Amino acid sequence: MSKSDLFSARRQFLKSLGAGAGLALFDTRGLFAEALALKSTASTTEGPFYPDRMPLDTDNDLLTINDSITPAVGKITHLTGRVLTMTGQPIRNAFVEIWQVDSSGSYVHTKGRQPTGHDANFQGYGRFLTDSKGQYYFRTIKPISYTLIGIFRTAHIHFAISRNGKRVFTTQLLVKGLEENARDGIVKRLDAKALDTLLVTFNPIPGSRIGELAATFDLVLGKTLEELEDGTLGGGVAISEVQRPKR
């Protein structure tokens, strides 16, 4: 899928939510009416499988690598959200990274692959620079549970946020209502309130002919972040490669 096609798909996805509550996430009217009630998102460990070698493609579409016409295997998911302060203010130019296993339970990390093989068409890692409303967008697959190096993990997507070139936050999105959550060692260490900030519902997109899903995960950072004078990032975590996706 070309970059123009990807953002066309994004626009179509947002349009499909127009009749429901989802569109309100991208409407500033009344957005901060209850800002003071925001609860910070729980932080979790980064885990051992952040890419040790970046994939050939690092954009926000994890289903295709560069201009390949063969998509990754999995339930296509449009993952959206905002990065906010605890007072409800959007954090622009936040560098959002995600990484997750493919449909076989393999990471991009060279030591995080299943002995049975991996999906060579899945990017496994993506990045996005938030806009003026703190919004991000990824096209990926619904995460799956897996056992790797003898350790069971429930379905999750890793998130990391950098600001001004510094890593400021890491966490893991979890699938709400998944029975396997109760077996996960990291989940067991979270109290109920912290866990609730990480649980996300994956909903079918009405009218999708291929069974696409939509998931929304807002990240509320429990600290104040300062911005460079020109509003840009400077040095640090893979910053030299960051480019705002073309629209």
Instruction: Name the active-site residue from 78, 127, 146, 163.
Output: 146
AA identity, residue 117: G
Please give the pLDDT value at position 30: 46
Residue 137 appears among annotated catalytic residues: no
Q: What is the mean pLDDT of the chain?
A: 83
- pLDDT higher than 60, residue 28: no
CB 79 within 8 A of CB 217: yes
- pLDDT higher than 70, residue 224: no
- pLDDT higher than 50, residue 245: no
- CB-based contacts of 232, cutoff 8 Å, min separation 6: 93
Per-residue pLDDT band at 233 (split at 50, 70, 90): very low
Mean pLDDT, rounded, for 147-151: 95
Judge: domain 3-26+33-238, CATH 2.60.130.10.
yes
Mean pLDDT, rounded, for 177-204: 97
- pLDDT higher than 70, residue 228: no
- pLDDT higher than 60, residue 181: yes
Residue 146 appears among annotated catalytic residues: yes
Instruction: Name the active-site residue from 78, 113, 127, 153.
Output: 153
Residue 153 appears among annotated catalytic residues: yes
Domain boundaries, the chain: 3-26+33-238
Instruction: Name the active-site residue from 109, 118, 158, 163.
Output: 158
Q: What is the pTM of this model?
A: 0.80
Please give the pLDDT value at position 232: 45
**How many CB atoms sit inside 10 A of residue 109's CB?**
19
Q: Which residues face 46 on adjacent strands?
A: none
Q: What is the DSSP string of 74-141?
A: S-EEEEEEEEEETTS-B-TT-EEEEE---TTS--SSTTS--TT---TT---EEEEE--TT-EEEEEEE
Please give the pLDDT value at position 234: 40
Residue 158 appears among annotated catalytic residues: yes
Q: Which of 27-31, 107-111, 121-125 shows the lowest per-residue confidence on average (mean pLDDT)?
A: 27-31
Please give the pLDDT value at position 231: 46
CB 9 within 8 A of CB 1: yes
Instruction: Name the active-site residue from 82, 107, 127, 139.
Output: 107
Mean pLDDT, rounded, for 67-71: 87
Mean pLDDT, rounded, for 211-227: 84
Mean pLDDT, rounded, for 62-88: 94
Q: Which of 2-16, 44-58, 78-92, 112-126 shows the lowest per-residue confidence on average (mean pLDDT)?
A: 2-16
- pLDDT higher than 90, residue 29: no
Per-residue pLDDT band at 102 (split at 50, 70, 90): very high
How far apart CA 39 and CA 16 sit, in angstroms, is 29
Please give the pLDDT value at position 38: 85
More confidently predicted of 35 and 64: 64
